[in-house]
Amino acid sequence: MSDIAVVTGANSGIGRATALYLAGQGYVVYGTVRSLDRAAKLQAAADAAGVEIKLVELDIADDASVAAGFGRILAETNGVVDVLVNNAGIGGNAVAEECPTSLYIDVFNINVCGAIRCAQAVLPGMRARRRGAIVNITSIAGRVAAIAQQPYVASKWAFEGVSEGLAQELAPFGVRVVIIEPGVTKSAIFAKNIDAPNQSGAYDSAYRRMFQFYAAGIANATDPTEVGALIHHAVTTDEPQLRYACSWGGTELVEGRAAMSDADWVALGAHEDDAAYTADFRAKFGLDIG
């Protein structure tokens, strides 16, 4: 019998690529989307690949929507979900001084609480069967404090912490937890990430450097199918690991930050000149964002 996977946020980017990849590997895949009316590209891609994605309308930001969506899935699968890929999420650009707390709350509700809602729906069955995998898509911003993205960074760091704790909590039950930390993949989301709420004008350089990074990332972005393949490896390998950095900039940023002192990290941000910042960034991370 085929394993059953649920991929949240399956309508685009990593979610769509992962849903298609797992379906191609023989999984029965349920892809959650906020609106069935906007899933035409996903359906067309599935048809072109000769696979089926079972669409479920579900908003991870809402308790009732998650309960209803997973209620339908579990009814159709006799209570079985083998793999949950918590992919759905949103960005959030803002420096700390000028970020309203309401934005933190909105981003946390989706990026952290949304994943928890979905995990809570499938974990009783996984525990009872003593098998299964929870795959949490965090970000390199969950390991490195990406500039001018405070609500996003805070949510992804929190998601990393939740995932680490969950890995220990589920270890006695044979349920695997995987943290996927992508850098920049090919996705329309990055081109739409243009918010720069710089009310005071004091943080021009911070926003400029954020956009520099993403411009370089978009130019070198990796295919999100690579993330789907990595997820499949992570849930099937006999030698599992907790974390996997991937995509453009992923490994370089995680390893570069780990090799830096905190003093060096602060000094990177202190550069007043963009050229000096770019050169230092290249020296520390091996990435050219100029």
- What is the per-residue pLDDT across 145-198, written as a single tens digit (0 to 9) for each? 999 999 999 999 999 999 999 999 999 999 999 999 999 999 766 555 566 677
Bridge partners of 222, per DSSP, are 185
Tell me the CATH number at 192. Answer: 3.40.50.720
Distance CA 211, CA 206 (A): 9
Please indicate, yes or no, if residue 286 is contained in any of the structural domains: no
Distance CA 229, CA 275 (A): 37
- Smallest CA-to-CA distance from 105 within 151, 150, 62 is with 151
Structure tokens at 160: 């990393």
Distance CA 82, CA 4 (A): 5
Please indicate, yes or no, if residue 267 is contained in any of the structural domains: no
Query: Which range, of 22-26, 35-39, 186-190, 211-215, averages the lowest pLDDT?
Result: 186-190
Structure confidence at residue 187 (pLDDT): 79
Structure confidence at residue 192 (pLDDT): 58
Average pLDDT over residues 201-207: 93
Give the pLDDT band of residue 287 (cuts 50, 70, 90): very high
- Lookup result for tokens 């707390």: 101
Please indicate, yes or no, if residue 269 is contained in any of the structural domains: no
Contact 131, 83 (CB under 8 A): no
Q: How far is CA 113 from CA 52, 59, 62, 252, 269, in A?
A: 29, 12, 9, 29, 31
Bridge partners of 180, per DSSP, are 137, 244
Please indicate, yes or no, if residue 275 is contained in any of the structural domains: no
State the total domains in the chain.
1
Please indicate, yes or no, if residue 271 is contained in any of the structural domains: no
* 89, pLDDT greater than 70: yes
Distance CA 87, CA 31 (A): 10
Q: Is 91 helix (H, G, I), strand (E, B) or coil?
A: coil
Average pLDDT over residues 93-109: 96
Contact 142, 157 (CB under 8 A): yes
Average pLDDT over residues 126-154: 97
* 5, pLDDT greater than 60: yes
Residues 13, 69, 106: CA angle, nearest 5 degrees: 60
DSSP symbols for 94-154:
B-GGG--HHHHHHHHIIIIIHHHHHHHHHHHHHHHHT--EEEEE--GGGTS--TTBHHHHH
Please indicate, yes or no, if residue 85 is contained in any of the structural domains: yes
Distance CA 188, CA 140 (A): 18
Give the pLDDT band of residue 201 (cuts 50, 70, 90): confident
Structure confidence at residue 2 (pLDDT): 85
Please indicate, yes or no, if residue 281 is contained in any of the structural domains: no
Structure confidence at residue 190 (pLDDT): 57
pLDDT digits over 243-285, tens only? 999 999 999 999 999 999 999 999 999 999 999 999 999 999 9
The mean pLDDT of the chain is: 95
Active site (annotated) includes residue 244: no
Structure confidence at residue 197 (pLDDT): 74
Query: Which one from 21, 152, 207, 214 is the annotated catalytic residue?
Result: 152
The residue range of the domain holding 38 is 4-259
